[in-house]
Chains A and B, each alone.
Chain A
Amino acid sequence: DAGITQSPRYKITETGRQVTLMCHQTWSHSYMFWYRQDLGHGLRLIYYSAAADITDKGEVPDGYVVSRSKTENFPLTLESATRSQTSVYFCASSDPFWGTTEAFFGQGTRLTVV
């Protein structure tokens, strides 16, 4: 399927466990982003990537790790999950150098840390 897909859609994990959220896009967009959405905070940028093997921190990177070995994949790992990381996570992609200035979003992953 074309587009940007996130998996899983829903995840419950325990405090202290490592969990990885997956993001895959089929457009070969250069930029990919991870946001978290929390009530009263809107969307906050966790990490972003301008190309394969190039990543940078966003506004709220603590407790998260990303990698981008292939252009189409941008997994987000919570190294040791905490309850404060309970949130809805959105992956997005864009390609401003080819005219795609807007970001296209996945359907989100709802993560609950208990």
Chain B
Amino acid sequence: AQSVTQLDSQVPVFEEAPVELRCNYSSSVSVYLFWYVQYPNQGLQLLLKYLSGSTLVKGINGFEAEFNKSQTSFHLRKPSVHISDTAEYFCAVSGGGGSNYKLTFGKGTLLTVNP
């Protein structure tokens, strides 16, 4: 079984500050990792994904994440946030290379960017 832990339920930051949203996963097999963003009253949009290869993954809107296999982490970072980044962010994992393509989500981190 696989699981995802998002260590912070809420992260308040000031505009133009850096931010890191933390995600740890557990799985007995190789995995695919994802970060999604959800704006109010909308569905989820993919920010970035890790399938294999380089452990530093760049996504949309200036976000990036680093896959760390030894620490089973996939933290999301942005060097300078904007008001428009206020949203809920979800980390997710699915089984890689096998038949298990179900996405398991963390409980989400609400990022609030203040002026």
A and B physically associate:
yes
Interface residue ranges, A against B (CB under 8 Å): 31, 33, 35, 40-45, 48, 50, 58, 90, 92, 94, 96, 101-108
Q: With A101-B51, A102-B49 as known contacts, state yes or no: A48 contacts B102, CB within 8 Å.
A: yes
A-B contact count (CB 8 A): 49
Chain A, residue nearest B99 (CB): A50
Main secondary structure of the interface of A (DSSP, over half): strand
Does B103 belong to the interface (CB within 8 Å)? yes
Q: Report A24 CB to chain B, min CB distance, Å.
A: 14
Interface residue ranges, B against A (CB under 8 Å): 6, 32, 34, 36, 42-46, 49, 51, 90, 94, 99, 101-108
Chain A, residue nearest B95 (CB): A96
Contact check: which of B42, B46, B90, B94 meets A43 at CB < 8 Å? B90
